[in-house]
Amino acid sequence: MDHPDTPVHHRPAVELAAMIAAREISSRELLEHFVSRIESLDPVTNAVVTLDLDRARDAADAADAATVTGSAVGPFHGLPVTVKDALAVEGVRSTGGAVELADHVATADADVVALVRGAGAIPFAKTNVPRWSGDLQTFNEVFGTTNNPWDASRTPGGSSGGPAASVALGFTGFELGTDIGGSIRVPAAYNGIAGHKPSYGLVPCGGYIDRVDYGRTEPDINVHGPLARSVDDLEVLMDVLAAPRPERAIAVTHRMPPARHDRIDDYRIAVWPDHDGCRSSADTVAAVESAGDTLVSLGARVDRNARPALDATEAAALGLWLVAGATSPSLTDDEFAFYTALAASADTPDEIRSAISTFTATPREWFAADVRRAHVREAWREFFGEVDALVCPVIVTPPFAHVQEGNVSTRTLPVDGVERPYTDLLHWTVLIGMAYLPATVVPVATTADGLPVAVQIVGPYMEDRTPMAVARALRTELGPMEFPDAPRAAN
């Protein structure tokens, strides 16, 4: 094994699958180990909200029997995994974090769940999310608040906060996340793990629970992707997840191209740590700069001045408008009325008013915005003709203390002592996501009080292996990721 001194629960998924295949540990033993950790540690974190143990134990026993007879199936044969509660799992309570679906049991797997199940994984539990996955924190009226494993007074991010905490604490082999405004990338960053936001359209997104009548359409910008303990895990998982929507599979196949280069010293990499339109914290800027320094030391051609030919502030505002529109079907009538009134108020900041104006936008206005997005995407295409990847912040500040009053549009948050609109947290994630680009997140530093700080490595559209290759080079140089063996008490 690559990490012989690492506890079994903190080993990457590919190692755990290899151990099961070699009969060094059984699927059933690993499942019981994960369950034991959840029972002893999760009361502090509240990451896992539903267990499906009887069926999982039967599946693990069957997987072990198949291993003995040489009939194992898939790269994750017998690997027990938890699944984000925004993704339907057949026969299991799947709520989307909403009281309306508090007792809902899904009748079919979400597309990505079916894909990893076909690769041998065994779903055994669901993990916590904000209501309809609509926040960068993780709390809801059904299951309460999920805490950050590194500091229980802080958020694990959202919306995949429960999934990311589950990975960090060794409750699962890997996790599946969703990301429309940063919901894979921010939790990966805040929990010190690896995450990959795929190119839009590369992974099928059926079975996403973003409203009561869920799963039949795929929202604009939204993607589903992996959260794991190594970049190798991300790459193998993307091999599994990159697939056409089921109704297109009769005629369509997906093939991710290889990374642009085999050697890191052949890469041209831009580093963009900050900009005047949305200042990042000192810790965040330092982490991005440090990642650039590491890449320089590895021989990559690093350019700290290269930028796409776009106004980042305007593009991010357009992205926020598009994200708001894509998520608007989940609003209740009361929430819709609240936001409509907020948009009409003279006291509402311009950026908030602009973002929520999408709730009443006409089709003509949406299509005009989509054309503006096309110009932004063209700027990115030209940029990636000159460079191979971009290193930039995931989010403007490290994990922050829980703040649950108000909502995404009305909250504020201190960043290096300056009170900022909560929507500033979305700047870097929507800037990248609205253009449909792939991004890999890995931790690269820690704050003075021991909190993880990550970067996102952005690649050209549909060239997902390229940012993963750069992320692997970074993490290989920095060494294996470290994880808390137990949740840390609030500082």
Q: 133 preceded by cis ω (within 30°)?
A: no
Residue partners of 437: CB distance under 8 A and separation at least 6: 199, 380, 458, 459, 460, 461
CA distances to 65, 270, 330, 353, 386 from 234, rounded to whole Å, are 27, 22, 30, 38, 26
User: What is the rounded CA–CA span in Å between residue 218 and residue 329?
Assistant: 12
Which position among 94, 133, 160, 183 bears the catalytic label? 183
Amino acid identity of residue 21, one-letter, is A
User: What is the rounded CA–CA span in Å between residue 187 and residue 12?
Assistant: 18
Q: Which residue has the tokens 């449909």?
A: 436
In the residue annotation, 197 being an active-site residue is answered as no
| Residue 53: count of CB within 10 angstroms of its CB | 13
- CB-based contact 481:230 (threshold 8 Å): yes
- CB-based contact 166:431 (threshold 8 Å): no
User: What is the rounded CA–CA span in Å between residue 230 and residue 227?
Assistant: 9
Q: How buried is 160 (Cβ within 10 angstroms: 0-12 exposed, 13-18 middle, 19+ buried)?
A: buried
Which position among 26, 27, 84, 160 bears the catalytic label? 84
In the chain, what are the helix, strand and coil shares in percent, each to the nearest 5?
40, 15, 45
DSSP helix/strand/coil, 158: coil
In the residue annotation, 183 being an active-site residue is answered as yes
Cα dihedral angle (423, 429, 431, 432), rounded to 10 degrees? Answer: -170
In the residue annotation, 71 being an active-site residue is answered as no
Cα dihedral angle (32, 35, 36, 42), rounded to 10 degrees? Answer: 170
Nearest to 134 by CA among 160, 105, 166, 108: 160
Q: How buried is 340 (Cβ within 10 angstroms: 0-12 exposed, 13-18 middle, 19+ buried)?
A: middle
Locate 237 and state its tokens: 């998982």
User: What is the rounded CA–CA span in Å between residue 81 and residue 123?
Assistant: 5
User: What is the rounded CA–CA span in Å between residue 2 and residue 472?
Assistant: 14
DSSP per-residue string spanning 269-288: EEE----TTSPPPHHHHHHH
Which position among 27, 94, 159, 230 bears the catalytic label? 159
- CB-based contact 18:3 (threshold 8 Å): no
Residues annotated catalytic, as ranges? 84, 159, 183
